[in-house]
Structure 1
Amino acid sequence: MEPSTAHVPDARPHRTALRRHFLMCRPDHFAVTYAINPWMDPAAGADAGRAVGQWEALRGAYLGLGHRVSLIEPIAGLPDMVFAANGGLVVAGKAYGARFTHPERAAEGPAYMEWLRHNGFPDVLEPAHTNEGEGDFLTLEDVILAGTGFRTDLAAHQEAQEFLGRPVVTLRLVDPRFYHLDTALFPLGDGNVAYYPGAFSAGSRTVLERMFPDAVLAGERDAAVLGLNAVCDGRHVVLNAEAGDLIETLARHGYEPVPVDLSELRKAGGGPKCCTLELRPA
C-alpha cells in the first residue's frame, strides 16, 4: 500500500491578530529615586539612556506588528510616567481615570485624564477611589478582571463596573512582587488568559480555574522576571525575553512570542504591559 499523502493539519489552533491602538510615554525622565515596590532600589538607580533605547525597541515592535501607537508628553519630575498602563482604563470609548496610591505618582492621574479628553475620549470619569488603571484592570471580551490587595481599592472595582457597564471580577493579589494584576496575568484573547497561580489568594485561584480551565500557566521563574507583564493581540505576545519557559509554552499553544529586553525598566517594576495603555474605541 502506498503511504498516505493526506495533509496532516497542525495541531496548534489558528490565532488571529487584531490591530490595537496603544498609548505610550517615552521615558525621558525615567529614574529610580524612590522605592514604592519591591523591585525598586534607589541606591542601584537606573540608566535613563538605556531605558529609552529599550522603550524605543518596544514601540518599534508594536509598529512592526501593525499596531497604532500614540504618545503622551513625558513630564519632568514624574519618572514612572513611562508606565502608561497605570494612567487609566479605556473601554468602548469611555475612560476611567486613575487615582494613585503613592504621592510620588499622584500627578500622573490628571495628566493622563487630560490627554484622553483632548485626544478622542471626552467621556472621562475622574475616580473617587484609588486605582491604578490597567495595572489592576484587564479587559477581556465580556468581562474585566480587577486586582486588589496592594494598589487598587475594592470600591474602585464597583465604580468601574457602574461607569463602564461591564462585569468586573475581583481577584486578590497576595505576593508583593506582583503588586498589580498585570504583573501576574495577561489576556490572550478568545476568552482566555495566562497567569501565575502563586500571585493569587486561594479563593482567587479557584475563580481563575473555573473561569479559565484552559489557561496558560506560568511558573515562578518566568513570573519573577515579569514574564506575565505581556501584551497579546490575539496572536503575537510581546513579553520579556528572559521568560524562556513561558515563551516555549506560548509557542506550543499557537501564539507567536515577540521577546523584548526591558531589563532597565524592570528596575522600577515595569515590563511591556506597564508601558502600554490600550485605547479601545467605541
Structure 2
Amino acid sequence: MCEPTFFDVSYSINPWMDPSRPTSTERGLAQWKTLHDLLVELGHTVELVEPVAGLPDMVYSANGATVVDGRALVARFRYEQRADESPAYLDWFRVRGWDARQAEYVNEGEGDFLYAGDVVLAGTGFRSEPKARDEIREFFGKPVLGLTLADERYYHLDTALAVLDDNEIMYNPEAFSPRSRALLAERFPDAILADASDAAVFGLNAVSDGLHVIIPQQANRLPDQLREHGFVPIGIDLTELLKGGGGAKCCTLELRARH
C-alpha cells in the first residue's frame, strides 16, 4: 500500500476524476488508514511504498505491478501523469530482493491483471495493451484469459471484476464485451453478478482474502450475495478516494511470494 500523503485530483485520466470537484487529502488519508488498519486487524502483513510528491495516484498501488510466485512485472502506465510511478515501484521491489522488471508494453498491473487460481484474467480495452497479455503469459508462465472491457467507467479490470478465491469471482457483465461475457460465464458459471447500482459505487473494486471481502459500505445487494456464497463482507467508506477512480482493491497490491 502507499499512503496518500499527496492525494489530489488535479487532472483527469478516467471518467471519475473531476479536477473542479473539491478534494480533501485529509479525508483521503483517514479513509485509507481505515482500510490499512482493517487489513492488519484481519491478520495480514502490510508493506508500505514511500509516496512521492507530484504523484497523487500512487495511492492506487494495485496498478504498480503484478506479483506472482515471487516475481514482479512492474507497470508501464498509459498516461504520462503516472509514468514516474514505475521507477518508484521497481526500486521498491529490487531493494527487497524480488525478481522484478518493468513491462515492455503498456500494462497497468493488478488494475488489469488479476490472478485467479491457475489463470491470469487479463483486461484490455482502455489501459493495458493486448500485447501485454503475451508478456504476462511469458513472464509468469501462467495461462491467460483475455477479457475486453467495453464501458469507459470501468476502465480497469479490477473496477469490473473481483477475484474472491481460487475458484470464485464476482463481476459486472455490462462492463464487458459480449464475447468476454461468454468466456466468463463458461469459466465461472457460479459467479456473483453485480447489478448496475453496486458496480457504480465500485462494489467490485474489492479486496478478498478468501473469506473476508472488503467492499464499499454503499453497496446494497453484494453483501447478501457474498454471504450466500460463504464469504464475510466488510463495508468501509472510501468515497474520497473514489474521486480519483479507485477503491479498496486499487489501494492494495497483493504480494504473492514463491511457494
Give the TM-score band, short-chain normalised: over 0.9
Give the corresponding residue for 2:240: 264
Q: Does structure 1 residue 178 correspond to structure 2 residue 157? A: no
1:118 positional shift:
1.1
TM-score by length of 2: 0.98
Structure 2 unaligned blocks of 5 or more:
none
Structure-2 separation of matches of 1:147 and 1:46: 29
SS in 2 for 1:90: strand
Give the equivalent residue in structure 1 for 2:189: 213
For residues 231 and 174 of structure 2, the distance between their equivalents in structure 1, rounded to whole angstroms, comes to: 23
CA displacement 1:206-265 (0-9 Å, x = unmatched)? 000000001011001000000000011110001111112111211122110011110000
Identify the residue that residue 31 of structure 1 maps to in structure 2.
8
1:10-49 residue pairs with structure 2 within 5 A? Answer: 24-49=1-26
Post-superposition, which runs of at least 4 consecutive aligned residues in structure 1 deviate over 2 A? none
Q: Which has the larger radius of gyration?
A: 1
Give 1:225's aligned amino acid.
V
CA distance in 2: counterparts of 1:125 and 1:162, whole angstroms: 13
Tell me the CA shift for residue 190 of structure 1: 3.4
What's the Cα RMSD here? 0.7
Deviation, 1:191, is: 1.2
Partners in 2 of 1:278 and 1:120 — Cα distance?
A: 16
* 1:181-217 Cα distance to aligned partner (Å, 9 max, x none): 0000011113111000000000000000000001011
Deviation digits for residues 112-153 of structure 1, max 9, x if unmatched? 1110111231x1122110010000000011000000000000
| Map of 1:229 onto structure 2 | 205
Which secondary structure does the structure 1 equivalent of 2:57 belong to?
coil
Residue 188 (structure 1) aligns with = 164
Is it true that 1:161 corresponds to 2:137 in the alignment?
yes
Q: Give unpaired runs (5+ residues) of structure 1.
A: 1-23
CA distance in 1, matches of 2:175, 2:215: 18
CA contact (8 A) 1:173 1:179 kept: yes
Contact 1:100-1:130 at 8 Å conserved across structures: yes
Give the counterpart letter for 1:45 in structure 2. P
Moved more, 109-118 or 200-209: 109-118
TM-score normalized by the length of structure 1: 0.90
1:33 and 1:45 in contact (8 A); partners too = no
Decide whether the 8 Å contact of 2:68 with 2:255 is kept in 1.
yes
Q: Distance in 1 between matches of 2:127 and 2:91?
A: 22
Distance (Å, rounded) in 2 between the aligned partners of 1:86 and 1:119: 19
Q: Percent identity?
A: 53
* Residue of structure 2 equivalent to 1:55: 32
Look up the match of 1:10: none
Is the Cα contact below 8 Å between 1:139 and 1:145 reproduced in 2?
yes
Q: Answer yes or no: is the 8 Å Cα contact 2:118–2:166 preserved in 1.
A: no
Cα displacement (A) at 1:97: 1.1
Give, in whole Å, the separation in 2 of the partners of 1:46 and 1:119. 34
